[in-house]
Chains A and B, each alone.
Chain A
Amino acid sequence: MTTLVYLIPVALFLGALGLSGFLWALRSGQYEDLDGAAERILIERDDKPER
């Protein structure tokens, strides 16, 4: 019982961390262009980042 008192919050915290990570990725537009992201990894960029 006592282990549960801290194990459940830990489990929920980790889950919530994943959830907030997903929501952040969604908001910052990382799902806008899935096909493009897959291809862009093959493009050699100049040293300066574009944006």
Chain B
Amino acid sequence: MEQKDIIYLDHAATTPVKPAVLEKMLPWFSQNYGNPSSTIYGLGRTTHEAVEGARETVAGCLGAKKEEIFFTGCGTEADNWAIRGCAYANRKKGSHIITTAMEHHAVLHTCMQLEKEGFSVTYLKPDAEGLIQPKAVEQAIRPDTVLITVMFANNEIGTIQPIAEIGKIARTHGILFHTDAVQAVGSVPVEVESLQVDMLSLSAHKFYGPKGVGALYVRKGIRPDIFMQGGAQERGRRGGTENIAGIVGLATALELACKNMDETMKCIAEKRDYLIERVLESIPYSRLNGHRTKRLPGNANFSFQYIEGESLLIWLDLNGIAASSGSACTSGSLDPSHVLLSIGLPHEIAHGSLRLTLGEETTKEQLDYVVEKLTNTVEKLRQMSPLYEAVQKG
């Protein structure tokens, strides 16, 4: 099958770089290649200005100040830096961190590592719809709590957390608050002041920018320990020669995403709702995972009873559809997705999950085709499932 014929429904994994973004990036490889630290000559001043211009753009999109934006190598690095940096910097004050059981591994594994280093971590469980209750965050606060980190929107089930309410609680208690907004930035409005977040991670390739570049917003006055030691780049707080083309690409993509956000959100959410309705009405023993409306515009996550997710993905791939699952078989581990388990799904239902994440280019016609293939495939797999046989025979 030709690449162009693929129906790509895995935008939560990554997105294609928009041609307009790529075009802006190209001059920063061979043409303007100066080191932004070499401002003594023109070539260096040009790239320095490009990086600083991009910083200003990103700050503008988030309602932040220019000097609060730090470029990183990816979203994972931003998460690591924020969490470890704050934990280490505040070690004398306390060693307790509050997070959730449904975080991305960039946060979860970082917290687990900190536990090994002597920190204690509370992992809040979301409710059955995948939401974290702000009250639960407040109740988890201890005198030695130094950091709260709660993801803005979940990468698997797309639920959007009440970040502003949690931010208010954190600020009231004088505790640093970080949010992993990798799935949210570029998809929904994110404005750091009203959210009262102290740190926020983002990643370019989730909003039609390039891979290999992210950013961390760090509110003025907060100083997480340095994660990447090196030169004076990023005001001495993140060493390493800047990925100029990547940074320009990140800023361009974010600017484009924010420009038409309301319209794009509405358009994608409409298609998502259409997909959800059609799937739930076409396929028996199916359910939607995550809150029906408090979710990312492009995210639909289903479970189909009596079948296993990887088999489903292979058949979808054979039909030219790229999707993802929380089944153990696709994660390379024995357990299904920790996110699906955290909302209380039994293992066997979590194994039969399917994540379809829509993008700007997704069409209704594509979704009709997907529903048709999905319905047939689920039925085919059920016909050979001993679990389904047992149900049908009662």
A binds B: no
